């Protein structure tokens, strides 16, 4: 009987493992989100709104995740743009990002945006700008402070975030005030990747002439928002030189930039380490939190209101 029970347990474990592999292959972020919810729980954060429209199109929607505890004053805001090579991904699969940072006192906004073939350059940027316009106009209703907003993203989302912060025209066209973004965090981002060598980049950008206008490194400026750029030195999807090149270019023009290269880390791991299954390695989370604290300190007006 004991051997029979052990066999059943082993079989169940193998089936669970096989099921997990299939789930990861089909939807890596969604599977990571599910694992985070199971292992980390949902305490300390709650999904306040899901599928909120910031524009008329089906993918122009966003998620809002907030801390559970009441606050005496508006909270700082983190807007996180998902990755996926501009051809995949959905903000609803990244609630683990929201839980991680809402527990630390941030209102977190997770926008979805158009993907290729529809969402070619510059549509992903137009959608990001529209989402930020929504944040500017509406985040106070969700307990967020529109004067303390940091923009972040992973991979393609890091490209979107950095490009929106550097090239003023996209936010300007959407009616977002200059200086609205107080800081930018890029994880595993492509910032200097022309000529295009991947199918995903060619699908998103090959139609643009001249192609150099798609590259964030071409738009560095001394008054850019402070940036934290994080990459792994074993990233073979987006080479770490992207981070090094952009950081060097920003420093050359006098912009504030912090650069973190993580040994032994690949393309996906920086964002994976923000979920409970991999949270033991806190290097990415702690670097982001320290940057957020520095760039979202309450203004004198907010401090006076709290007193």
C-alpha span between 270 and 298 (Å, rounded) = 28
Q: Distance between the two ends of the chain, CA-based, in angstroms?
A: 68
Instruction: Respond yes or no on whether the N-terminal peptide bond of residue 53 is cis (omega within 30° of 0).
Output: no
C-alpha span between 85 and 259 (Å, rounded) = 22
pLDDT tens profile 29-60? 999 999 999 999 889 999 999 999 999 999 99
Number of CB atoms found within 10 A of residue 27's CB:
16
**For residue 262, what are the β-bridge partners?**
232
pTM: 0.90
C-alpha span between 180 and 41 (Å, rounded) = 33
pLDDT tens profile 147-166? 999 999 999 999 999 999 99
Share of the chain above pLDDT 70, in %: 89
Q: What is the pLDDT of residue 7?
A: 43
pLDDT tens profile 188-245? 999 999 999 999 999 999 999 999 999 999 999 999 999 999 999 999 999 999 999 9
- ∠ CA 75-273-292, rounded to 5°: 30
E-strand ranges in the chain read 45-53, 61-67, 75-81, 107-111, 144-154, 181-187, 227-232, 257-262
Query: In which residue are the tokens 């994880």 written?
Result: 187
């Amino acid at each position: 009987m004991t051997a029979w029970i052990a066999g059943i347990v082993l079989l169940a474990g193998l089936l669970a493992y096989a099921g997990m592999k299939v789930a990861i292959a089909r939807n890596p972020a969604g599977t990571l989100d599910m694992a985070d919810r199971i292992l980390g729980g949902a305490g300390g954060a709650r999904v306040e709104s899901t599928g909120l429209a910031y524009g008329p199109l089906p993918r122009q929607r966003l998620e809002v995740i907030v801390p559970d505890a009441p606050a005496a004053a508006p909270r700082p805001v983190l807007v996180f743009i998902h990755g996926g090579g501009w051809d995949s991904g959905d903000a609803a699969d990244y609630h683990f990002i929201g839980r991680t940072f809402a527990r630390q006192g941030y209102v977190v906004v997770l926008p979805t945006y158009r993907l290729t073939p529809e969402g070619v350059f510059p549509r992903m940027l137009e959608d990001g700008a529209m989402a930020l316009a929504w944040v500017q106009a509406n985040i106070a209703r969700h307990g967020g402070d529109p004067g303390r907003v940091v923009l972040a993203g992973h991979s393609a989302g890091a490209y979107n975030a950095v490009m929106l912060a550097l090239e003023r025209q996209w936010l300007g066209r959407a009616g977002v005030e200059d200086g609205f973004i107080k800081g930018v965090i890029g994880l595993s981002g492509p910032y200097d990747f022309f000529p295009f060598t991947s199918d995903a980049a060619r699908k998103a950008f090959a139609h643009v002439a001249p192609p150099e206008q798609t590259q964030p490194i071409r738009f560095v400026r001394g008054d850019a928002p402070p940036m934290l750029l994080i990459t792994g030195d074993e990233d073979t999807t987006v080479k770490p030189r992207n981070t090094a090149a952009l950081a060097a270019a920003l420093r050359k023009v006098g912009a504030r930039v912090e650069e973190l290269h993580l040994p032994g880390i690949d393309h996906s791991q920086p964002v994976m380490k923000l979920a409970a299954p991999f949270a033991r390695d806190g290097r990415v989370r702690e670097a982001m939190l320290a940057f957020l604290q520095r760039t979202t300190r309450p203004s004198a007006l907010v401090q006076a209101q709290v007193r």
